[in-house]
Structure formats: structure tokens, C-alpha cells
Amino acid sequence: MVSDYHINIFYINIFYSDEDGAYIADIPDLEACSAWTRRRSRR
């Protein structure tokens, strides 16, 4: 069985915000899509 699929590749900008005291991840190609965390990793 053959399936058709499409893979989107998005650039993610990650930076530290002193004002927020957290890391911010922003995806420019997706309007209003961002996330933040106070930790750099989940460990």
C-alpha cells in the first residue's frame, strides 16, 4: 500500500529573554505560534 504524505519543515528561533526570565521558542512561518519555559531541557 502506498501512502501520500507531505512533510513541512519549519525554522524555530530559540532565545533567552532576560525580561521574562525564560527561553522563548518562536516559529516565524506559523503566525502567533510560540512557547516558553524557564528550563533549558526537561532533565
pLDDT in tens, 9-22: 889 998 898 998 88
What gap in Å lies between CA 27 and CA 29, rounded to an integer?
6
> Residue 43 — very low, low, confident or very high, per pLDDT cuts 50/70/90?
low
Please name the residues in contact with 25: beta carbons below 8 A apart, sequence gap of 6 or more: 12, 13, 14, 34, 35, 36
pTM score of the predicted model: 0.58
> Residue 25 — very low, low, confident or very high, per pLDDT cuts 50/70/90?
confident
- 17 DSSP 8-state letter: E
Winning range, highest mean pLDDT, from 29-33, 34-38, 39-43: 29-33
- Which SS3 state, helix, strand or coil, does residue 25 take? strand
pLDDT of residue 18: 92
What gap in Å lies between CA 24 and CA 31, rounded to an integer?
15
